[in-house]
Amino acid sequence: MAFIRELHHQLVSKERSAVEITQDALNRITQLEPKLHSFLCVTTERALAQARAVDAKIAAGEEIGPLAGIPVGIKDSICTQGIPTTCASRILENFIPPYDSTVTQKLAEAGAVMVGKTNLDEFSMGSSTETSAYQITANPWDLSRIPGGSSGGSAAAVASGECPIALGGDTGGSIRLPAAFCGVVGLKPTYGLVSRYGLVAFASSLDQIGPFGKTVEDAAVLLGVLAGHDPKDSTSLKVEIPDYTQFLTPDLKGKKLGVIRETFGEGLDSAVEQTVRQAIQQLQDLGAEVQEISCPRFRYGLPAYYIIAPSEASANLARYDGVKYGLRATEAENLLDMYTRTRTCGFGAEVKRRIMIGTYTLSAGYYDAYYLKAQKVRTLIKQDFERAFEQVDVLVCPTAPTTAFKAGERTADPLSMYLTDLMTIPVNLAGLPGMSLPCGFDHLGLPIGLQLIGKALREDQLIQVAYAYEQATPWHQRMPAS
């Protein structure tokens, strides 16, 4: 498994060509896809054309950036001009966007090679990539288990070596959870740091695009290309973007870390707790000052999220009506019947469930009782984080309460599925950056994730803490047998 730095060195030294690197990735996808199902669409011709363009630049003596010629997978909720973008839903089965998202445009300009669109939970609604209308992605460490969700295809593709880096989207943990379950690095940036233009909306006040990589350095390099102001996104922040790779230092002296008390206790798997506590001890050994911090409203994140996110989804998904684009039901008797038939056959059960919850909480008589109250709780959660960051630089906790569970194990029980996001959701509600990185394995050989949470726009601190831990441990060098 080559990392970005190695691949870049091979390219500039002409040890390998971009076409050779891309072909190797495409060959691995062909080899693994029958059992993994990470990709909904493989863009072979486009990938090879992009690789040839990089080789031509090298041959002409031009300097290339760190992502030039590097294969990347794109979550299929991110618009790609001329290439299907389905959100893993039947309702967008034949949708081909007439434009590129800002992030895919930036990647193309950086010379990255898009090898395909990765599988996800339908419209990013799920924690296991099982609600996809097309296929269930397997976890590369154990094919009978799920890779996490909603960006499970991207995490599985990176973990298995189908591509070195990938893009995901994170609304309530959809980058960090699959990163933890698949043993890779996943970073959810500060809300507004990366443009959402061209990301198909689930919950607009929570959604954020971010990177997956095998190493902290790979995620930092990718974030550096993605981040920046975009006038096409009204929530995009006008801030200076640092070179994130300058924070890849192994020294943690003077860094103050806070362990979130409320994330340990009932419901936390004993192997996860033990491994995360060992990781915290390792951070302390590296020179960090560690103390326990209370975020008393942390546990209210889950109920608040499952009112706010479905409410926003209900409004966002109203556009899929069979009129403008996507699926249209035939044999309808009138317009209302066409709407009903289109949505009945176009949306899966989980998406319908969330639309109904959201429509209910926004309806007259219930808005104040549910939606307004959830927004107030969101403010309290944000205040808890602000108080915590008066004492420490970075917060630490498990990414998920358990390791990856078996496919089908929780599909009949939506509540137990929702509880998977218990540790990740509060970060989205507060708009903060969060990162998951591998910190060990349980007795079944399944990866365990350590979550780092930072102040707004302090991705640099997350990268520094994560890199120091990663360099002192072997977890990022392990590959699944598949």
CA distance 98 to 453: 36
Q: Which residues pair with 257 in a beta bridge?
A: 290, 394
150 is catalytic: yes
CB-based contact 162:144 (threshold 8 Å): no
Closest to 255 (Cα-Cα) out of 278, 293, 217, 287: 287
Catalytic residue among 89, 127, 174, 436: 174
Helix (H) or strand (E) holding 120: none
Q: CA–CA distance from 233 to each of 192, 193, 198, 412, 439 (Å)?
A: 9, 11, 9, 37, 35
46 class by beta-carbon count within 10 Å (0-12 exposed, 13-18 middle, 19+ buried): middle
Return the bridge partners of 117, or none: 41, 74
Catalytic residue among 150, 160, 195, 311: 150
- Please give the structure tokens belonging to residue 119: 């599988």
Report the candidate in 121, 134, 177, 185 with the shortest Cα–Cα distance to residue 159: 185
Q: Which of 38, 75, 124, 127 is catalytic?
A: 75
- Strand-pair category, 39-42 with 71-75: unpaired
Across the strands, what pairs with 437? 450
Q: Contact 400/186 with Cβ under 8 angstroms?
A: no
Which sign, positive or negative, has the C-alpha torsion 288, 432, 458, 186? positive
Collect all residues with Cβ–Cβ distance below 8 Å to 307 and sequence separation of at least 6.
357, 361, 370, 371, 373, 374
**Encoding tokens for residue 466?**
């994560």
DSSP 373-408: HHHHHHHHHHHHHHHHTTT-SEEEEESSSSSPPBTT
Q: How far apart are CA 16 and CA 382, in angstroms?
A: 48
- Please confirm, yes or no, whether 174 is among the known catalytic residues: yes
Element (H, E) at 51: helix 44-59
Question: Catalytic amino acids?
Answer: 75, 150, 174
